[in-house]
Structure formats: C-alpha cells, structure tokens
Amino acid sequence: MSKDIVFDLIQKEHDRQVNGVELIASENFVSDDVLRAMGSVLTNKYAEGLPGKRYYGGCQVVDEVEDVARERAKQLYNAEWVNVQPHSGASANSAAMLACLNPGDTMLGFDLSHGGHLTHGSPVNYSGKLYRPVFYGVNRETGRVDMDMVRDVARKEKPRLIVCGASAYSRDWDYATFRQIADEVGALLMADMAHPAGLIAKGLLRNPLEHCHLVTTTTHKTLRGPRGGMILVGKNFDNPWGLKTKKGTLRGMTGLLDSAVFPGMQGGPLEHVIAAKAVAFGEALRPEFETYGRQVMANAAAMADEFMQRGYHVISGGTDNHSMLIDLRNKNITGKEAEEALVASEITVNKNMVPFDTQSPFVTSGIRVGTAAVTTRGLKVDDIRQIVGWIDEVISDHTNPSTIASVKEMVEEKMSAYPLFGWTEVVAE
Ligand code: DSN
C-alpha cells in the first residue's frame, strides 16, 4: 500500500462510514463490485463520442462496456433511449436544458426552499442565470405539491419547460397531471427522478418515463450505483421538438440530447464510472433489489411514524419514498444545531430548509433524513425506531456533551454488528 497521506484519509473516511448511522437521504453504499469497476484501468481511456462513433482509437472495449450500461438502464426503466455519460445529476440537468431551452426561455420548476433542486432554476445556479425561472411550491396545509399552483403559474407564464422532481420531497409525483398541464401550455415536461430512481426501477413508485418527454437522474442515491448521472427518454414518444438539419432531415430529441452532453456540456466520458454504473444497473435488475427497495420504504414509513409519535412535524405527515423533511420549529432547535449535535453523535443528517422557512439556508429550520443507506447496512424497522429514539435524545438535550457521548457510544456499538464493505443483500422482514 502506498504511503501517501491520502490513503490514510481514505481509511479515516472508511471508518467514519462504518462506525456511524448514515441518514443523508441522497447517499448510499455501493457494493464491492461497483467499487472495483470504478477503481479500474478504464479511468485511463479517452472516449469522446458514443459507442461506435468515437473521436479516439482503442475504444472497442469501452464501447462494449458503455453498451452494457445503456442496455441495462433501458431495461430498468422501459426506456427507448439513454445517455449514461453525464458526470452527475447537475450535468444531466444542464445538458437536458441546453437541448430544450434557449437562453432567456421560461422554465417552471419546484421552489428550492420547498424541496426543489438548485438546478431547477435557482438564481445562484446556471439554470436561474441562463433561463427565466418561475416556480411552484407546496400547499401550506398539506405539504404536498400544489397542482393548482402548477397549473396557474404555467397558464400565466407559458414556460417552454416544466420540471418535476425534487431533492427534499417525500411524496410520489402526479406525472400524468403535470403532462396535461404541459400539453395545455405547449411546454416540454422533464422529470428529475434522482432521489427515488432505485424505487422507480422496481415499480415501487410511478415511472415518469410514461408521461415525461425526458427524464434525468443521478445513479448514486436509491439506485445505489456510483456517483453520476444519466438522461432517459421513454418508449413511443413523439418527437416534440425535432429540428431540421441542413440536409432537411429531422433531428430528434435524442440526437439533441446526445449533442448537449457531448460536445455541449462535457468532454471525455468517465468510462470507469460508466462501468460501475453498468455493474450497479445489473444489481438493480435482480429480484433482491426489489426486496431492498421495499425495505427502504418500510424503514422510511416507520421512521416518519416514530418521529410523529414523538411530537415531530414531518412535512406532509409521512412519506411515500425513502426520505422526509422534519420541521424542528416546535422543538426549539435550528437545522444547523441539530445537524451539528447529531453528527457529533455519529448520526449523519443534513440541515434543510422547510417550506415557508423563517431561517436562512445556512441555518434552516429543519433536517432531511432518508433510509437508503441504513437499509443497505441491513437495518430493519425496529432498528430505525431505536435510532429515532436516539435522535430525539440528542435533539432534546443537544447542548449536553454527555448525552452526545452516550448516544455516540450506542451508535458505534450497534453499527459494529452491521459490516459495510463486503455486504450481502438485505432480506425482508
Ligand atoms: N445534493 C443532492 C441531494 O442531497 O439531494 C442533490 O443534488
């Protein structure tokens, strides 16, 4: 083993991951096979272009690798077309918008402070600087996306693109109604399914490819692959914005999307990451992955229930997926304070704005939690309830170092029974 200090740091991060309870809703733990593919010699290869149409020689093997990834992704989502090259979800979104929008065009997205994502039109992101963003949010009473507001804003603003999907929203999406609204105002409809992608792959939540003109995702959240992104298009879709080429032939949206990824947004694809995506997609195609997804959802439902029984305000009163947002205002603690105290107890969460928040994004009134990673570790419903009890203990006494120390000890002892690397598939209860 090299003596480079970096490897000491990697060991430290390994130990942090093994010792603690990981509740960040957007994280997961990949298998040893995914790690192996990602750390392979494929990182040495340049492969600008697509399989069979590269700008470099020697791509015959990576062509096959990328084709395996593409075929498996299509199978997972019943897709007609996919591009597996985006380096991240943000890259996938920027390529999708580059293909769909001209600078200054109006796009309608989910408000970041209600659970949306930076790349869905936030003023601090390219999407809010290059395009003209307008937003919908959640209903104050129900905590659910306000479809009347989506329709009203769409009718008034006539966006060219409507984006559904979120980074902090615990309910399934009504893609069919979004599509009706998009058709009524002449907009394209895009879903960003980054968070629930693994659950959608097994039919546990609605599939946006049935209604949306295009779908983007990350590959590393509930889908449990390497850090990365992709763009998909569903079967039997009309060409909603085909362009005439110089030769007069119609250039379909998939061609525009391919060109938007490369050369539009990126240079060489990361073929080692694409190989790891292929491995992860292969794992997700197996029946055990449905067992995993069902356990993720059962664990999340139990988590929401346990929080609510302890007097916490879970936005929308529960969850359909792997995650939830908790408004801590009735607990007299900010999101920042809660995150810091919990991290000190080896329970990792992130502070998060809640709808109609009164704090800044650096402080926030809430936390976001999810069960994708702890379910990969093998935790079940009873373990989740125990962990919520510890979270409650820390939040209720967050300035007391001895409470934090005692929870940390219990967390470390518990997690020592759940080996992380070299894990095997979880078995449902
Ligand atoms: N940062 C991701 C998340 O945590 O949801 C989204 O990009």
Q: Which two tokens stand for residue 391?
A: 């979270």
Phi, psi of 190, deg, nearest 5: -120, 135
Cβ atoms of 76 and 203 closer than 8 Å: no
Beta bridge partners of 108: 134, 162
- Is residue 26 within 6 Å of ligand 1 at its C-beta? yes
Q: Kindly state if the Cβ of 89 falls inside 6 Å of ligand 1.
A: yes
**Which residue, among 337, 98, 325, has the nearest Cα to 231 in the 3D structure?**
98
Phi, psi of 180 (to 5 degrees): -60, -45
Catalytic residue among 22, 66, 111, 192: 192
pLDDT at 255: 87
Task: State which ligand 1 atom lies nearest to the alpha carbon of 88.
Answer: 7
At 254 the pLDDT is 87
Domains, the chain, ranges and CATH? 7-30+290-415 (3.90.1150.10), 39-284 (3.40.640.10)
Residue 246 predicted with pLDDT over 70 = no
Cβ–ligand 1 distance for 116 under 6 Å, the answer no
Q: If you measure from the C-alpha of residue 315 to the centroid of ligand 1, how many angstroms do you get, rounded to a whole number?
A: 18
127 lines ligand 1 (CB under 6 A): no
| pLDDT over threshold 60, residue 425 | no
Please state, rounded to an integer, the average pLDDT across all residues of the chain: 94
pLDDT of residue 357: 96
Give the largest Cα separation in the chain, rounded.
74
Spatial distance between the Cα atoms of 209 and 215, rounded to a whole number of angstroms: 7
Token pair recorded at residue 76: 């997972």
How confident is the model at residue 208, as a pLDDT?
Answer: 98
pLDDT, position 2? 56
**pLDDT of 243 strictly over 60:** no
- Tokens 């307008």 found at: 134
Where does the pLDDT of residue 238 fall: very low under 50, low under 70, confident under 90, or very high at 90 and above?
low
Query: What mean pLDDT comes out for the span 321-328?
Result: 98
User: pLDDT (tens digit, 9 = 90+) per residue, 142-201?
Assistant: 999 999 999 999 999 999 999 999 999 999 999 999 999 999 999 999 999 999 999 999
Cα–Cα distance, 194 to 205 (Å, whole number): 13
CA of 343 to the centre of ligand 1 (A): 18
Specify whether the CB–CB gap between 195 and 171 falls below 8 A: no
DSSP β-bridge partners for residue 81: 233
% of the chain residues with pLDDT over 70: 94
DSSP alpha helices (H): ranges in 310-426? 335-344, 372-377, 381-396, 401-415
Nearest to 62 by CA among 81, 46, 84: 46
In whole angstroms, give the CA distance from residue 95 to residue 20: 36
94-115 pLDDT tens trace:
999 999 999 999 999 999 999 9
Catalytic residue among 227, 331, 351, 377: 227
- Per-residue model confidence (pLDDT) at position 236: 65
- Taking alpha carbons only, the member of 154, 136, 133 closest to residue 145 is 136
Report the C-alpha gap between 61 and 63 in whole angstroms. 5
Question: Does residue 296 contact residue 199 with C-beta atoms inside 8 Å?
Answer: yes
Q: pLDDT per residue over 287-321, tens digit each?
A: 999 999 999 999 999 999 999 999 999 999 999 99
Task: Give residue 163's pLDDT.
Answer: 98
Which whole number is the average pLDDT over 323-339?
98
More reliable by pLDDT, 429 or 141: 141
Q: Is 155 helix (H, G, I), strand (E, B) or coil?
A: helix
Give, as one character, the DSSP assignment of residue 366: E
CA atoms within 13 A on the CB side of 102: 1
For the stretch 352-384, pLDDT in tens is 999 999 999 999 999 999 999 999 999 999 999
Distance 345 CA to ligand 1 centre (A): 23
Phi/psi for 52 (5° steps) reads 85, -10
- pLDDT digit string, tens, across residues 113-123: 999 999 999 99
Q: What is the pLDDT of residues 199-210, one digit of tens each?
A: 999 999 999 999
SS3 163: strand
Q: What is the pLDDT of residue 248?
A: 52
pLDDT value at 240 more than 80: no
Distance of CA 25 to the CA centre of its chain: 8
User: Is 129 tagged catalytic?
Assistant: no
C-alpha 357/C-alpha 112 separation (Å) is 11
User: Do residues 345 and 20 touch, judged by C-beta distance below 8 A?
Assistant: no
Contact of 35 with 220, CB cutoff 8 Å: no
What is the C-alpha separation between 19 and 415, in angstroms, rounded?
6
> Which is it for strands 21-22 and 347-348: parallel, antiparallel or unpaired?
parallel
Q: d(Cα 302, Cα 384) in Å, to the nearest integer? A: 7
Count other Cβ atoms within 10 Å, centred on residue 161: 26
Substitution site in 24, 124, 167 for ligand 1 pocket (most atoms within 8 Å of beta carbon): 167
| Closest residue CA from atom 6 of ligand 1 | 167
**What pLDDT, on a 0 to 100 scale, did the predictor assign at position 247?**
57
pLDDT of residue 252: 78
Per-residue model confidence as pLDDT tens digits over 39-82: 999 999 999 999 999 999 999 999 999 999 999 999 999 999 99
Per-residue confidence (pLDDT) for residue 164, from 0 to 100: 97
393, amino acid identity:
E
Closest CA to 159 of 184, 124, 123: 184
